Structure 1
Amino acid sequence: MSNKDLLTKDLTPEEFGQYYFLKEELKEFCRSEGLKVSGNKQDLEKRIIHYLSTGKPLEELVVKQKSDNIIYEIKLDSKLGDNFKCSEDKREFFEKHIGKGFKFKVKFQKWLKANPEKTYMDAINAYFEIINSKEKTKIDKQFQYNQYIRDFFEDNDDKSLDDAIKCWNHKKSLKGHNKYEKTDLEVLL
């Protein structure tokens, strides 16, 4: 089910916040209203809320970075540095030292950005600590689907992914929050 038809310029910002919209639906609305379509889901929601409030596009500061085509070799004792970017050369470096299964997981990305004074060797050690940690990672607000599915299975380990998706699809079509509740299972009856 989709809430696509509900997304019009006649919505109030409060009404907009009551529904779940897919990123593609947000982008489609932005295109139809002449708003920027770049960025993540939160960026799009911010633009739409501003537009619904004022009737005008959000003025966004555009910062152009000067490209320095400097190529340098990454070594184990190299510092991560400020403004760490998860680029292809860094992915290749980590794959070489960690293995083909390497992924820039969110928690690891946050660690990299928070520790500019650390070395790549420190980063490799931190990566293994993070992936071997039994601690649940926090799911950021924009990933409501992932949070819903996690909460669904914490409460229903006997149900299937198809069941979870049916409940999610029903939940997101309703007005209000998108958090899992036991009553969501009624759609399976």
Structure 2
Amino acid sequence: MKDRPVLDKKLDSKTFREFYYLKEELVDFCRKNGLPASGGKIEITDRIAYFLDTGKAMPVSAVRKKVSAMGEIDEDTEIEPDFVCSERHRAFFKEHIGESFSFNVAFQKWLKNNTGKTYRQAIESYYQILEDKKKGKTVIDKQFEYNTYIRDFFADNKGKSLDQAIKCWNYKKQLQGHNRYEKSDLAALE
């Protein structure tokens, strides 16, 4: 087993990608090395890997989303292209769904991928997404490795505790390679 290396400029990108680093560690590295620190974990990881390979900052995409000016939203309004979660949208959904409404990842994706459908259909989809989540049918995106690991741990280890799952996760993320749950990770509990 190879110990997780310190994230610094001496690291090569291949080794860097073989280990797990917290987003805050990635952001800290970017700030110390004059790289943009904004964006999601995958984007920041790619930026750092490029920097480790070339010694240069990755060119930034100049594409900006246009914020569409739209009037009142009602249930028959069509979802606009390049949907952006805004306070107006949040207020609309809270009015129609309730105070418990939140822009979860699955619903945000649905909105962005369903331009032209109505907000009535969006409300129906929101409830379906919540039902799917209760039944464990949701897909966890790649950047949420911890969440995926914990879900898979519990699927394979009924009756184990969250503390045990976290202990195995902490063990796993120190190992070289992928961060998916494996039965062999239970070695951390011995």
TM (norm. structure 2) is 0.91
Q: Deviations over 1:48-75 (max 9, x none)?
A: 010111111111123456667x562211
2:45 counterpart SS class: helix
Q: Percent identity?
A: 52
Q: Which runs of 4+ in 1 moved over 6 A?
A: none
Residue 71 to residue 112, structure 1, CA distance change in 2 (3 Å):
closer
What displacement does 1:112 show? 1.1
Structure 2 distance, partners of 1:61, 1:129, is 35
Residue 36 (structure 1) shift: 0.7
Q: Tell me the C-alpha RMSD between the 2 structures.
A: 1.8
Residues paired across the two proteins, number:
186
Q: Superposition pairs for residues 146-161 of structure 1, below 5 Å?
A: 146-161=147-162
Check if 1:15 corresponds to 2:27. no
User: 1:147, CA displacement in angstroms?
Assistant: 0.5
**TM-score (structure 1 length as normaliser):** 0.91
8 Å CA contact 2:37–2:44 kept in 1: the answer is yes
Q: What are the within-5 Å matches in structure 2 for residues 33-52 of structure 1? A: 33-52=33-52
Check conservation: 2:66, 2:82, Cα contact below 8 A. no
Which amino acid in structure 2 is aligned with residue 188 of structure 1? L
Aligned to 2:101: 102
In structure 2, list runs of 5 or more residues that go unmatched: none
Aligned to 1:128: 127
Paired with 1:71 and 1:126, the residues of 2 have a C-alpha distance of 22
Give the 3-state SS of the residue equivalent to 1:49 in structure 2: helix
Structure 1 unmatched ranges of 5 or more: none
Distance of 1:66 and 1:80 partners within structure 2: 14
Q: Distance in 1 between matches of 2:66 and 2:43?
A: 23
Counterparts in 2 of 1:1-189, with a 5 A limit? 3=4, 6-64=6-64, 70=69, 72-133=71-132, 134=135, 136-189=137-190
